[in-house]
């Protein structure tokens, strides 16, 4: 898991959530409460000036539609009878608290110990108590396995499960990605599902120059995170089929823009090089 939890995605959710109901793309009433007031105000100020879009065109758009796209997938899977949800690299994800439907299910939040400790303190402060349906599982993907930590935390591999893996894969080694996908395929029943975002290697290797990627690389000495893993454009279906998955969907920047940015939002952009894949565990 990521060693240092960034608040940026929570800030983006907070900024979007403050818009009117007919304009906002995603809604998270807890996002602003999970980040520092100073940092939120600073990012919001520069975003209002257009600085974020100039520095990383379409990145704020991607983070916004990523939240919405995963929310929509979650709601669809709940309708199909999902019995438990595993949020990998949970960070400041608030889905376990803002979706009432999840309060009837078992939810496992998996994250690096340091990030999870910080998250638990925030949950205690914001909610006043720990939700009974949530189990916090501390694990580092690069040194530990899901099989080891999840199974001993009460995960039931016979139950239909949704795995949400947001904002994580690009920081992992290929071996760690394969290990996680292997766990999902081998330790959840047919019909279980996974959804995750990823980057194209052309962003990671500098073939396509992006300001936000350069910033992430320049700050890795402080964050302890390096951009490592990517999947080439157009190859996701074969990649997941080889690992035992079916019903594969690969949502690229055009799909995400056309699906969610309409009307007053039609001029907003989604950065090229970022995508979201979803799939089901085969029989």
pLDDT of amino acid 11 = 92
Which of 1-15, 62-76, 196-210, 211-225 tops mean pLDDT? 62-76
Q: How does pLDDT run across 137-148, given as a tens digit for each residue? A: 998 766 777 888
Question: Token pair for residue 79?
Answer: 């309708």
How far, in Å, CA of 236 to CA of 247, rounded?
12
pLDDT band at residue 27 under the 50/70/90 scheme: very high
Contact in structure between 2 and 91 (CB atoms under 8 Å): yes
Q: Is the pLDDT of residue 222 over 60?
A: no
Q: Where are the domains of the chain?
A: 8-281
pLDDT band at residue 221 under the 50/70/90 scheme: very low
Q: How does pLDDT run across 156-177, given as a tens digit for each residue? A: 999 999 999 999 999 888 998 9
More confident residue, 48 or 43: 43
Q: What is the DSSP string of 129-146?
A: S--TTEEEEE--TTTS-H
* Strand ranges inside 147-244, DSSP E: 161-165, 193-199
Contact in structure between 14 and 40 (CB atoms under 8 Å): yes
Residue 225: count of CB within 10 angstroms of its CB: 17
How far, in Å, CA of 184 to CA of 178, rounded?
10
Contact in structure between 88 and 115 (CB atoms under 8 Å): no
Please tell me the pTM assigned to this model. Answer: 0.92
* Strand ranges inside 229-273, DSSP E: 245-251
Please state, for a pLDDT cut of 90, what percent of the chain lies above it.
Answer: 69
The class of domain 8-281 in CATH terms is alpha beta
More confident residue, 135 or 148: 135
Q: Is the pLDDT of residue 185 over 70?
A: yes
- Mean pLDDT, residues 79-98: 95
How far, in Å, CA of 19 to CA of 13, rounded?
10
pLDDT, mean over the chain: 89
Question: Token pair for residue 122?
Answer: 């925030």
Contact in structure between 99 and 69 (CB atoms under 8 Å): no
Q: Is the pLDDT of residue 220 over 60?
A: no
Backbone φ/ψ region at 251: left (φ over 0), alpha (ψ -120 to 50), beta: beta
pLDDT band at residue 223 under the 50/70/90 scheme: very low
Q: How does pLDDT run across 4-13, given as a tens digit for each residue? A: 345 789 999 9
Strand order in the sheet with 245-251: 134-138, 106-111, 84-88, 161-165, 193-199, 274-281, 245-251
């Amino acid at each position: 898991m990521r060693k240092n939890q960034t608040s940026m995605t929570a800030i983006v959710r907070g900024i979007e959530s403050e818009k009117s109901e007919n304009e906002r793309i995603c809604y998270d009433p807890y996002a602003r409460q999970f980040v520092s007031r100073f940092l939120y105000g600073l990012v919001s100020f520069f975003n209002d000036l257009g600085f974020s879009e100039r520095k990383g065109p379409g990145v704020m758009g991607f983070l916004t539609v990523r939240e919405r796209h995963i929310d929509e997938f979650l709601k669809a899977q709940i309708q199909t009878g999902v019995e438990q949800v595993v949020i990998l690299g949970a960070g400041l994800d608030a889905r376990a608290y803002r979706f009432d439907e999840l309060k009837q299910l078992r939810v496992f939040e998996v994250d690096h110990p340091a990030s999870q400790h910080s998250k638990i303190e925030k949950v205690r402060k914001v909610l006043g108590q720990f939700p009974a349906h949530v189990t916090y599982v501390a694990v580092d993907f690069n040194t530990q396995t899901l099989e080891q930590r999840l199974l001993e935390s009460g995960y039931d591999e016979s139950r239909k499960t949704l795995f949400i893996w947001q904002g994580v894969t690009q920081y992992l080694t290929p071996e760690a990605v394969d290990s996680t996908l292997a766990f999902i395929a081998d330790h959840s029943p047919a019909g279980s599902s996974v959804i995750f975002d990823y980057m194209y290697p052309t962003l990671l290797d500098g073939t396509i120059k992006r300001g936000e990627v350069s910033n992430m690389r320049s700050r890795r000495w402080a964050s302890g995170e390096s951009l490592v893993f990517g999947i080439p454009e157009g190859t996701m279906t074969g990649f997941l089929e080889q690992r035992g998955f079916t019903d594969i969907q690969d949502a690229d920047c055009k799909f995400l823009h056309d699906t969610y940015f309409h009307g007053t939002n039609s001029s907003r952009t989604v950065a090229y090089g970022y995508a979201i894949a979803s799939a089901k565990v085969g029989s």
